[in-house]
Chains A and B, each alone.
Chain A
Amino acid sequence: MQNNFVRVFVQDIGRKTLGIINNLGAASIFFSLAFVRIFRPKQVREIIQQIYYIGAKSSTIVGLVGLFTGMVLGLQLYYTLTKFGSEGVLGSVVALSLIRELGPVLTAIMITARAGSAMTAEIGILRISEQIDALYTMRIDSLRFLISPRIAAAIISFPLLTALFDLIGILGGYITGVVLLGVNKGAYFYRIHSYVEFVDIKVGFVKALVFSVLVSTICCYQGYFTHLRKDSYGSKSVSISTTSAVVLSCIMILVADYIVTSFFV
């Protein structure tokens, strides 16, 4: 009886592990195939359109979140730094926190919530309503037409939005630190200039690139293979795929964040 339970348990773990490895492999191939198709003809218009949806239309929400994140950081760090009499370094601490860590992570999570979920839902609906099959019958490569422009747009948009988030976040820290709490204006910017190095900006940029690949691949993959889900069908499968895409993207952002950070510390 106990042996049987152990066997079932091990089988279950084995099956799930194999499933994860299988999916990882499939997603990697999916990304590779879509990536090479970015450079095929007739892509520029589609990519620009996707940059508008993923990038330009996310800028307001990213800016808003960046502003309040910077303001909260300014407030919290001022409170902590005054205990050590070091409120003069507020600018550098706010900037480093944003550029190295919070900027890329929060931007990626915000884009996942806004554009990533939309990608999965849209592609999922195209799949279940046979529109992807229709592309096949018209000899239009669905990976080139649907997936490549989204991946390209994400790779272009993520670093730009991260930079926007960082800038507005630093401005938010300035509002609370300098305008509201009276930290010296010159010290705030001088410390940023002194302590923020190129490697810090590079970390943020690399993270933004890695997150863009992860989020766009996960979201497109979940939508594209919606019809293969075993747990649901039709519109229900689109909703489950969308939820899975957002959850998985957020988890992978945090896991990748740790891995990338460990290379630059």
Chain B
Amino acid sequence: METPLIEFRNVTKRFDEKTVLDRANLSIYENQITTVIGKSGTGKSVLLKHIIGLLQPDEGSIVFRGIPVNEMKRGEWEKCRGQISYMFQNNALFDSLSVFENVALPLRQTTNLRKKEIIRKVLARIEQMELSDVARKYPSELSGGMQKRVAMARALVTDPAIVLFDEPTTGQDPIRKNIILSMIAHYRKKFGFTAVLISHDIPDVFFISDRILLLWEGNIAFHGTYDELTRLKHPMIDEFLRSLEGLQDELTGLLSKEMFRSRYLLTLGLGMGRATGTAILFNIQFDILAEVLGPQSPIEVVKALGEYVNTYFGPSGGFSARHGRGMILTVLPHITPEEAEASLQEFARELQEKALPAIQAHTRGSGAAKECFDIIVTAGMTEPGSDDDIDQIIEKAGKNQKIIARYKCNKEGGST
């Protein structure tokens, strides 16, 4: 079995009389995104601070690549620590330094890079975070969301192997939240770092996470994948997810997954006898859209498709939710597959005629599309059986996927 990168073995941490971590055991694996979820005040940040050594456990040990940290020599630990970067919940930016100086600080103070090289690296990170216009400003002159991005630029500027993100998306608007999460996923793929993430942004954070840890009353109540989490029928987890998720998906305005599940159970689900209906699974394939137009583009496309789906199928009683980064499941109660097919064709026509040209206008406007990319929207229909749960519907509809709309640019910026 793979050796975990970081392990907590029976870690206990107390602050005065309060026990925050109570014999907590967990494993974090290399090149994975691990998300820690849990109610506020349950010790998520405390857990993260133990990893980087800002806090030491009262009992138990933290193991780094198989070696307990408390048995390491100072030099060994410093070497391990050098691979880790930390993004604070409250950003912890130096308010007397400009944005540029804040991002440059770790390079200036801990490396022997030449001035030109430092400037190049810092400017590249600042540009990636869309902070070029505010590089000379001070943190107090920026909005909370911008400060967050400065903190993220600072955490990533040293190209760390492990990045600990303490609520990186708090205070951001839905689009920006998704951009940040997409960036984490994108950089993980590009640079191969390991990320440990604290976030409450459900469901988006789950879409990029390889593993999820649920911290509950000082201990790890669940660790596993998102699918395992949703399949696990446990009242505590259900209650927790519901408390975080809310009623609506912030990005698209569609239903949250929990609300979608409840509504499905009420209309077509188990025990509803011979109720009829049709489910349509929409899928977006982005090709190299993010590389060409930046990480915000796929998110804008998902948002646009969500709004289209809502506007088109909502009035006829349909309800939808995102079940993946570019995957939307729509259920049309009391509509036969034949009627649904006709609606889908009309929807596809509108999508091709109105939504995709809007993307074309965006790419021409931005002047950034130097390479061509495809955006393909596929859809698959199925008739939910009386015993089918949502996962089974997704599986069945996933098998019938066919292209309903396609955007393909040419070098002159046109589309087919």
Contacts and interface: CB of A to CB of B under 8 A. Distances in A.
B81 A139 contact: yes
B29 interface: no
Contact of B105 (A126, A129, A136, A140): A140
A136 B109 CA distance: 12
Contact of B110 (A133, A134, A138): A138
Interface majority SS (helix, strand, loop, mixed), chain A: helix
Given A137-B52, A139-B78, A139-B82, A129 B109 contact: no
A12 interface: no
Contact of B86 (A137, A140, A145): A137
Interface of B: 52-54, 78, 81-82, 84-86, 88, 90, 92-96, 105-106, 108-110, 154, 158
Interface in A107-142: 122, 126, 129-131, 133-134, 136-140
A246 B105 CA distance: 31
Interface of A: 42, 122, 126, 129-131, 133-134, 136-140, 145
Contacts of B85: 137-138
Given A138-B106, A139-B110, 20 more contacts: A42-B109, A126-B94, A130-B90, A130-B92, A131-B93, A133-B54, A133-B88, A134-B88, A134-B92, A134-B93, A136-B52, A137-B52, A137-B84, A137-B85, A137-B88, A138-B105, A138-B154, A139-B81, A139-B82, A140-B106
A136 B94 CA distance: 13
Contacts of A134: 86, 88, 92-94
Contacts of A137: 52, 54, 84-86, 88
Contact of A136 (B54, B82, B90, B95): B54
Contacts of A126: 94
A143 to B, nearest CB: 13
A43 to B, nearest CB: 11
Contacts of B109: 42, 138, 140, 145
A138 B52 CA distance: 10
Contacts of B93: 131, 134
24 contacts: A42-B108, A122-B96, A129-B92, A130-B90, A130-B92, A131-B94, A133-B54, A133-B88, A133-B92, A134-B94, A136-B52, A136-B53, A136-B54, A137-B52, A137-B54, A137-B88, A138-B105, A138-B158, A139-B78, A139-B82, A139-B110, A140-B105, A140-B109, A145-B109
Contacts of B96: 122
Nearest to A144: B109
A130 B90 CA distance: 8
A137 B110 CA distance: 11
- Central interface residue in B54, B78, B88, B92, by most chain A CB within 10 Å: B92
A123 to B, nearest CB: 12
A129 B110 contact: no
A136 B90 CA distance: 16
A139 B83 CA distance: 10
A137 B84 CA distance: 8
B88 A130 contact: yes
A134 B155 CA distance: 10
Nearest to B96: A122
A131 B147 CA distance: 14
